[in-house]
Structure 1
């Protein structure tokens, strides 16, 4: 049986890193994509290499079509087609809406939405020809409910949900499933600048009362990319500790 190839964007840290490490323990070729954090990406690569030699580390800025194309060319040269695409790379910041510059608005869309678009656009021709593929998008609780001080971030994460639902309808006839995970707060360095009191206040408002661990999100991704989830498409899986029910 052919070993399937998984591309995880933004895999140098957080959810992407834990997903790469987890899936590397299964029968997959693993591609770690990163943009800036080479030290962290290399650490992830070396950890995986100890138990799975079928791992590739590629620097690519998903804001740039040329770099996305080059990344896919390299993957295809080494492993063949990308069978599973996990659009995990994303950026975030907080600001009042009136303080969000047009440059900031454009950049967050260019990474979170347009970056996913570029990777999907490059991945699906081979998936369609094979009549098989899995695409996973990482949204957020704020993409579902909206988050004050994060209008730009919320807008991108809502766009990911809408894009993936539409893609599920369009690509299902080609044997491709498309699903989205919408985590609540997760213990990653993306929250490193958030005051502890703010995190405690957020957690106090829902049943499980704590942030998720990155591995808990990775476990949901592991299920969705497995053949146990072959009949699931167009879904948004909310992993938020009961923040809304």
Structure 2
């Protein structure tokens, strides 16, 4: 049986893990990645393999071109092709812009935005040669609205949105679709710095009256990856009508 293959960056936990597991349930071979959490990544690998699919786990910084190049080479050796690329790797930083140093700025831009360039630059040529492929970038509502005390994060996600629209136009003639999902407040560890009172206040702002679930993001990403080929160059908000 020839299975399709998906690469999901930042997939040891949270949204990335949920996406990887969803594709495994749908019969995809899965490549998972994280920069530090090797133990969590291997537990995710074990869970993915319980769905009788193959899984390759790679610990490496998606913001490093050399690391991504090595990961893609190993993935090609094992699976041949990468049919779907989900750029999910990301970190957040909350704090005053005037307190931010260059090191923190560069880390956020590299992890959140340069990682998208790295993965696309190394995966796209094969997709063009085969005249097919799906790329889904995980963005945020702050990429268009901007968030106070999250300037670098907002800038990185705004970059992803523009990157998505531009690359989609370039790759559409090759039958490759590039879209982004701009997530709202999703219940992940990234938001666990909020205390219960802050979470309750946040939920009051969201018309859906709750946080999103990682499984909802995963279902939507899979729907885009397996759905309409005319859907291209879109940044779609998944935020419970929040923004």
Q: Does the CA contact (< 8 Å) of 2:94 and 2:150 recur in 1?
A: yes
1:39-98 per-residue CA deviation (whole Å, 9 max, x = no partner) reads 111111111111223111111211211111110000000001211100000010101111
What is the rounded CA distance, in whole Å, between the counterparts of 1:43 and 1:75 in structure 2?
19
2:152 maps to 152
Structure 2 unaligned spans of 5+: none
Match of 1:231 in 2: 230
Structure 2 counterpart SS, 1:229: coil
> 2:193 matched to 1:193?
yes
Provide the TM-score with structure 1 as the length reference: 0.96
* Runs of 4 or more above 6 Å deviation: none
- Which range moves more in the overlay, 193-202 or 130-139? 193-202
Which has the larger displacement, 24-33 or 160-169? 24-33
What displacement does 1:241 show? 0.7
1:24 alignment partner, SS class: helix
Find the aligned partners of 1:6 and 1:238 in 2 and give their Cα distance: 22
Q: 2:84, 2:225 within 8 Å by CA — same for their partners in 1? A: yes
- 8 A contact 2:134–2:176 mirrored in 1: yes
Q: CA deviation at 1:7?
A: 0.2
Secondary structure of the residue aligned to 2:61 is: coil
Q: Distance in 2 between matches of 1:82 and 1:13?
A: 21
CA distance in 1, matches of 2:25, 2:205: 36
TM (norm. structure 2) is 0.97
Query: Counterpart in 2 of 1:69?
Result: 69
- 5 Å-filtered alignment, 1:95-244, equals 95-226=95-226, 228-244=227-243
- In the other structure, the counterpart of 2:10 is 10
Aligned equivalents of 2:125, 2:169: Cα separation in 1: 16
Distance 1:148 1:199 in 2: 17
Q: How many residues are paired up?
A: 243
- The aligned residue for residue 89 of structure 2 is 89
Distance in 1, matches of 2:68 and 2:235, equals 26
Who is 1:80 aligned against? 80
